[in-house]
Structure 1
Amino acid sequence: MSLESHSAAVIQLAWARHLGLDDGAFASALESGERITRADESARSLEFVRLFGSSALVGPQWALDAAAGISDEEMAQHVTLLTITRSHGGHGQGSAALFFADDLPLLRSSEEVTVSHGNPEAIELEGLCPPDDVNEVGLSHLENRYTIMLDENGRKVPVACGAYTEWEGILAHMGVLVAPQWRRRGVGSLAASIAAHEALASGLTLQWRTDVSNKGSLATARSLGFSTGGIQTSVLLG
């Protein structure tokens, strides 16, 4: 589904505030065609964001100087930021695709399902999943959780959780975690749809962020109807 024009402006506003920029920074950059930069000598990371055709780079001045002649396409690659920051201990983070939505089709289950809003069920689900998946989704940081419970061996067990937290007071930052044995069966998309519509009902625009190498998460975002909005690439400084 395509985004309404005003939704893109709302998303840019949220990211401008996240990066410590003026509210209209991304719109101005689109008109000028120039990359937005903000020097922050206390920054513990170097962060590059490309959003709806505008880009921004925030970090220490030495990093901004090193990136001055590098194209946005190159800056979006994690290896570029690692190279720039190598002498300052640059490491970790990576590149993440950014997806957004201001409306989505509502998915429905062909059978009755139980949805839990409790924390214990989400924690139990995390215990069933690989640590890398748990860390990327970060359910513990997403305040609103909707865990699908299904019957297994005579008891209700958590199989998938869709969750979101309010981000910069404007966006609903989403995450979905699915137990390995229940993947590719539609429960992840259903959990995501439930969380997404709760967030939309609260007046928030949806944000989906996932590592560019996570094919499953990328596919889920697209299948739900999210629109591609940009990319975020960052490294931690030593």
Structure 2
Amino acid sequence: MNLDPGTIAIIQLAWSRRLGLADDALAGAEDGTRIYSVQDQSRSVSFLRLFGREVFCGPEWAARRARGKSAAQLSGHTALASLSVEYGGRTVGSEHLCFADSFPGPVEPEEEIAVAEDHDLAVQLERLCPPDDVAEAGLAHKDQLFIAVDDRPEAPVPLAGAGYSIRDGILADIASLTAPTARRQGLGRYITSVAVEEAMAAGLIPQYRAPLDNVGAARTAAGAGFIAVGIRSEVLLPA
């Protein structure tokens, strides 16, 4: 399964704008090209590989250290941190960039599940989950929310949730979260597919960022029809 060339062009446009590059920077670059965006006042160092093109962003000292290093060397969890350790770099993480441009296949759970769009239920779901998972997903901060709930009790119980925020007017940045007691039941994949359908119906391209060390997130993304086509790493620098 491949993304449509038109979808690829739009994704490249969105990420070019997000990185402060010319609109055609990624689409116009040859495969294997690395773009260096040097910003001496930048408070972060980042590396992006997307559809065979690469972008390194950061101060001049970081760009000098990155030259000659391969994409694999710059994509690891600690690679950028090692470049900036003496400057106080703090690892944000490395993630696969996944996109979808077709409606996912049937992923209905075995039992009928209600879907709500209630922010309070998203907050309630976060309280059921480990703090690291909550911080990674940032579900309650998404603009659009879809919460799978068990509505048999008097008060609905959130089981899994997905949501998206719009980036650059083009991408629907989707994240999902599943309560520990409801995992391995296909609920994360199901509610993520709901978010994908709603985002596409709104004319957006769904994007899912799956941390490199999160196998569950990668499975959820693949099950909801996403294709991994890029990788991004980032560290933050002290002000």
CA contact (8 A) 1:106 1:197 kept: no
Between stretches 76-85 and 152-161, larger displacement belongs to 152-161
CA offsets, 1:49-101, max 9 Å, x none?
00010000111111111111111221112322112111111112121111110
Letter of the structure 2 residue corresponding to residue 113 of structure 1? I
For 1:74, the aligned partner's letter is Q
Aligned position for 1:76: 75
Tell which deviates more after alignment, 2-11 or 108-117: 108-117
- Whether 1:37 aligns to 2:36 is yes
Aligned-partner Cα distance in 1 for 2:181–2:109 = 18
Residue deviations 1:6-38 (CA, integer Å, cap 9, x gap): 11111111111111011111123225x431111
Alignment gaps of 5+ in structure 1:
none
SS in 2 for 1:199: helix
Take 1:112 and 1:61, find their aligned partners in 2: how far apart are those partners?
Answer: 55
Query: Could you report, residue by residue, the CA deviation over 1:94-131 in whole angstroms, capped at 9, with x for unpaired residues?
Result: 21111110112243344432211111111110110010
Match of residue 62 from structure 1: 61
Q: Which residue of 2 aligns with 1:226?
A: 226
The residue number in structure 1 matching 2:10 is: 10
Deviates more, 1:180-189 or 1:103-112: 103-112
Bigger mean CA deviation after superposition, 135-144 or 154-163: 154-163
- How does 1:1-238 map onto structure 2 within 5 Å? 1-30=1-30, 33-103=32-102, 104-151=104-151, 155-238=155-238
Distance of 1:227 and 1:50 partners within structure 2:
14
Whether the 8 Å contact between 2:196 and 2:224 is mirrored in structure 1 is no
Partner SS state of residue 156, structure 2? strand
RMSD (CA atoms): 1.5
Letter in 1 for 2:144: N
Q: 1:162, 1:119 → 2: CA distance? A: 11
Cα separation, 2, equivalents of 1:151 and 1:144? 20
Partner Cα separation in structure 2 for residue 121 and residue 154 of structure 1: 14
Query: Matched residues in 1 for 2:176 and 2:188: separation?
Result: 7
Tell me how far apart the structure 1 counterparts of residues 144 and 84 of structure 2 sit (CA, whole Å). Answer: 36
Paired residue type of 1:213: D
Letter in 2 for 1:72: A
- What SS does structure 2 have at the residue aligned with 1:30? coil
Q: Is the 8 A contact 1:29 1:55 kept in 2?
A: no
If the length of structure 1 is used for normalisation, what is the TM-score? 0.95
Q: Is the 2:162–2:174 Cα contact (8 Å) retained in structure 1?
A: yes
- 1:106/1:10 CA distance change after superposition, 3 Å: farther
Between the two proteins, what is the percent identity of the paired residues?
41
- Structure 1 residue 153: Cα displacement: 5.3
Task: Indicate the SS of the match to 2:234.
Answer: strand
- For 1:178 and 1:80, the matched residues in 2 are separated by 30
CA distance in 1, matches of 2:231, 2:9: 16
CA contact (8 A) 1:129 1:178 kept: yes
Distance in 2 (alpha carbons) for counterparts of 1:112 and 1:80: 45
1:152 to partner: Cα distance: 6.1
One-letter code aligned to 2:4: E
SS of equivalent residue, structure 1 residue 78: coil
Instruction: Return the alpha-carbon distance in structure 2 between the equivalents of residues 155 and 140 of structure 1.
Output: 19
